[in-house]
Amino acid sequence: MIAQHYNSIHLENNLLKQIKIKENQLKIAQESNMIYVAEALQHELLKLQNELSEPQDVEIQALMSLLDD
């Protein structure tokens, strides 16, 4: 259980780093008027943000199921 929690934290930290990088790339693309690159980066950023929110939902559901027991 502790290893699973560590892996979850590691994955979340990795996703947060990737999101920060994409945000910086998006800012540069927007400032450089690179419209298509900015659109692609926005799409990738949304995917990463969705990945970040999904594991949290699973963890909350697992905790709620423990409370139900």
pLDDT tens, position by position, 17-42: 999 999 999 999 999 999 999 999 99
Return the number of other C-beta atoms located less than 10 Å from residue 41's C-beta: 21
User: Of 49, 63, 67, 65, which Cα lies nearest the Cα of 4?
Assistant: 63
User: In this structure, what token pair is assigned to residue 59?
Assistant: 């963890």
Sequence length of the chain is 69
Q: Each residue of 48-68: pLDDT tens digit? A: 999 887 755 556 666 666 666
Upper half-sphere CA count for residue 32 (Cβ side, 13 Å): 11
d(CA 64, CA 45): 29
Domain boundaries, the chain: 2-68
d(CA 3, CA 40): 35
